[in-house]
Amino acid sequence: MFVLTCPYCREKREEEEFSYAGEAFIARPLAPEALDDAAWGDYLFMRKNPKGWHWEMWAHATGCRKYFVVKRHTANHAIEGAWTLPEARKLFDAEGGAA
Protein backbone atom coordinates (compact mmCIF):
# COMPACT_ATOMS: atom_id res chain seq x y z
CA MET A 1 0.00 0.00 0.00
CA PHE A 2 1.39 3.39 -0.97
CA VAL A 3 0.55 6.85 0.09
CA LEU A 4 0.85 9.15 -2.91
CA THR A 5 0.77 12.92 -3.00
CA CYS A 6 -1.19 14.41 -5.87
CA PRO A 7 0.80 17.39 -7.15
CA TYR A 8 -2.40 19.12 -8.23
CA CYS A 9 -4.50 18.62 -5.09
CA ARG A 10 -1.41 18.72 -2.86
CA GLU A 11 -3.03 16.04 -0.74
CA LYS A 12 -1.48 12.84 0.64
CA ARG A 13 -3.89 10.03 -0.12
CA GLU A 14 -3.92 6.24 -0.11
CA GLU A 15 -3.18 4.23 -3.21
CA GLU A 16 -6.82 3.21 -3.66
CA GLU A 17 -7.71 6.77 -4.69
CA PHE A 18 -5.33 6.51 -7.63
CA SER A 19 -5.08 4.32 -10.66
CA TYR A 20 -1.85 3.18 -12.24
CA ALA A 21 -1.23 4.30 -15.80
CA GLY A 22 2.07 2.61 -16.69
CA GLU A 23 5.54 3.72 -17.72
CA ALA A 24 5.92 7.47 -18.16
CA PHE A 25 7.39 9.40 -21.09
CA ILE A 26 6.70 6.95 -23.89
CA ALA A 27 6.65 9.44 -26.72
CA ARG A 28 4.29 8.78 -29.59
CA PRO A 29 6.38 8.74 -32.78
CA LEU A 30 5.97 11.97 -34.73
CA ALA A 31 5.65 10.21 -38.08
CA PRO A 32 4.10 6.78 -37.39
CA GLU A 33 3.73 5.95 -41.07
CA ALA A 34 7.51 6.33 -41.53
CA LEU A 35 8.25 3.58 -38.98
CA ASP A 36 8.87 -0.06 -39.79
CA ASP A 37 6.92 -2.79 -37.98
CA ALA A 38 9.66 -3.43 -35.44
CA ALA A 39 9.87 0.25 -34.39
CA TRP A 40 6.08 0.55 -34.16
CA GLY A 41 5.89 -2.69 -32.15
CA ASP A 42 8.59 -1.32 -29.87
CA TYR A 43 6.57 1.84 -29.24
CA LEU A 44 3.32 -0.06 -28.64
CA PHE A 45 4.45 -3.00 -26.56
CA MET A 46 8.04 -2.95 -25.33
CA ARG A 47 8.57 -1.67 -21.79
CA LYS A 48 11.58 -0.99 -19.58
CA ASN A 49 10.09 -2.81 -16.57
CA PRO A 50 13.18 -2.09 -14.44
CA LYS A 51 13.99 -3.61 -11.09
CA GLY A 52 14.84 -0.32 -9.49
CA TRP A 53 13.69 3.28 -9.95
CA HIS A 54 10.74 3.57 -12.29
CA TRP A 55 9.20 6.72 -13.74
CA GLU A 56 5.50 6.01 -13.98
CA MET A 57 2.16 7.72 -14.42
CA TRP A 58 -0.71 7.65 -12.00
CA ALA A 59 -4.15 9.21 -12.30
CA HIS A 60 -5.91 10.70 -9.31
CA ALA A 61 -8.99 8.69 -10.24
CA THR A 62 -11.30 9.60 -7.37
CA GLY A 63 -9.90 13.10 -6.87
CA CYS A 64 -9.00 15.69 -9.50
CA ARG A 65 -8.73 12.98 -12.21
CA LYS A 66 -5.48 14.46 -13.50
CA TYR A 67 -2.46 12.44 -14.55
CA PHE A 68 0.89 12.98 -12.87
CA VAL A 69 4.29 11.31 -12.62
CA VAL A 70 5.75 9.34 -9.73
CA LYS A 71 9.30 8.04 -9.34
CA ARG A 72 9.03 4.80 -7.40
CA HIS A 73 11.43 1.94 -6.65
CA THR A 74 9.93 -1.31 -7.90
CA ALA A 75 11.82 -3.58 -5.50
CA ASN A 76 11.08 -1.80 -2.21
CA HIS A 77 8.22 0.59 -3.10
CA ALA A 78 10.17 3.68 -1.95
CA ILE A 79 8.74 6.83 -3.51
CA GLU A 80 11.07 9.69 -4.37
CA GLY A 81 8.38 12.13 -5.36
CA ALA A 82 5.35 13.04 -7.43
CA TRP A 83 5.28 15.84 -9.97
CA THR A 84 3.17 17.25 -12.76
CA LEU A 85 4.19 16.01 -16.20
CA PRO A 86 6.25 19.06 -17.26
CA GLU A 87 8.07 19.23 -13.90
CA ALA A 88 8.84 15.50 -13.99
CA ARG A 89 9.99 15.70 -17.60
CA LYS A 90 12.74 18.14 -16.61
CA LEU A 91 13.98 15.87 -13.80
CA PHE A 92 13.72 12.81 -16.05
CA ASP A 93 15.77 14.48 -18.79
CA ALA A 94 18.32 15.71 -16.22
CA GLU A 95 18.82 12.06 -15.26
CA GLY A 96 19.56 11.29 -18.89
CA GLY A 97 16.14 9.80 -19.46
CA ALA A 98 17.21 6.52 -17.93
CA ALA A 99 15.03 4.55 -15.57
Count of CB atoms within 10 A of residue 74's CB?
A: 14
Site string for another protein, 2-21 (x = CB under 8 A): x------------xx--xx-
The DSSP bridge pattern shows strands 19-23 and 53-59 to be antiparallel
Which of positions 41-80 make contact with another protein (CB under 8 A)? 41-42, 44-51, 54, 56, 72, 74-77
In sign, the C-alpha dihedral spanning 91, 85, 68, 48 is negative
Please give the residue ranges that form the binding site for another protein (CB under 8 A): 1-2, 15-16, 19-20, 22-23, 37-38, 40-42, 44-51, 54, 56, 72, 74-77
